[in-house]
Amino acid sequence: MTKVLEELSDAIAGLADGVGPSVVGVGRGGSGVVVGEGRVLTNAHNLRGGEVTVTFPDGRRAEATPLGVDVEGDLAVLSVETAGAPAVPWGAPAPRVGSAVVALAHNRAGGARASVGFVSATGVTFRGPGGRLVEGAIEHTAPLARGASGGPVVDAAGRLLGIDTHRVGDGAYLAVAADEGLRARVDALGRGESPTRRRLGVAVAPRHVARRLRRSVGLAERDGVLVLGVEEGGPAARAGIGRGDLIVAVADTAVSSVDDLASALADAPAGTPVTVAVVRGADERTVAVDLEGNGTAHEGSV
């Protein structure tokens, strides 16, 4: 048993020594990982403003500039002088439930923190900072201390498996999976291509609230998404959609939840106004909404 524990300790120490130089601190309370020369990957929620300080394991501090930010996916790529800090290796096989993992994070005292756990689930869906669904995440049991968000999760060979994003309670933590899709997104962010999403510019209520409110004023129950507020000058406002309207379809696709609405907007044909079916009181009408050129995501609206 002693020999097994010694071998395990040596393996973990080797991973910390090998990957630790790639792990950095981001801002006042986050972590990140070097993914290329002059490039650091972290969580979008670690950023505050147009510049952020990156702290390297040797204590060096440098000002970084966000190149691309994916608010909904909770990812950001920073431009910063990495000064020889190595990039974490990619190419890990897809993890299985039970696979051993090591989670690393910036240590304010210097170097990196490391903790060991196992993959407890794969293909997990969670809500990003803006409330949209993020799919394909890895759930693991390696304990994360405060400030670990944005740090890497690696396999037994030190290859990147995911980027930690948040804890889900009961000793489980979530990481955005480092698959080919993530690599493509990181490359795009590194080129300054922040993703945009098509949005109506409305604040909405979930289906059960909409049904209850309609029933309370004597209207027939109807599945849909209730508009609680409209962004001034936004696409919905320009099309005449108002507070109290019930959105029931987008581009002939029925919607009964916020997630339905987000998916329908994303899938609607590009380049032309999108049809939106709206119930106002007992009357239903269809309006054409111009969604093009509406910028990046805004938290809390669709």
With a cut of 50, which residues of the chain have pLDDT below it?
293-300
Supply the pLDDT for residue 260: 85
Supply the pLDDT for residue 300: 47
- What are the sequence ranges of the domains in the chain? 2-190, 202-289
CATH topology of domain 2-190: Thrombin, subunit H (2.40.10)
Does residue 197 contact residue 297 with C-beta atoms inside 8 Å? yes
Supply the pLDDT for residue 297: 39
Supply the pLDDT for residue 131: 65
Supply the pLDDT for residue 184: 94
For 160-210, write each residue's pLDDT tens digit.
999 998 877 777 899 999 999 999 999 999 999 987 777 788 888 877 887
Structure-block tokens of residue 79: 């431009």
Supply the pLDDT for residue 86: 94
- CATH hierarchy code of domain 202-289: 2.30.42.10
Supply the pLDDT for residue 295: 38
Q: Report phi then psi at 32, rounded to 5.
A: -160, 180
Burial of residue 24 (CB within 10 Å: 0-12, 13-18, 19+) is buried
Does residue 261 contact residue 302 with C-beta atoms inside 8 Å? yes
Q: What is the pTM of this model?
A: 0.77
Question: CA dist 118 to 161, 170, 236, 239, 272, Å?
Answer: 12, 14, 46, 50, 48
Structure-block tokens of residue 222: 């109807």
b/e per residue 145-161 (b: at least 16 CB within 10 A): eebbbbbbbbbeebbbb
Supply the pLDDT for residue 130: 62
Q: Alpha-carbon distance 215 to 77, whole Å?
A: 47
For 233-255, write each residue's pLDDT tens digit.
889 999 999 998 999 999 889 98
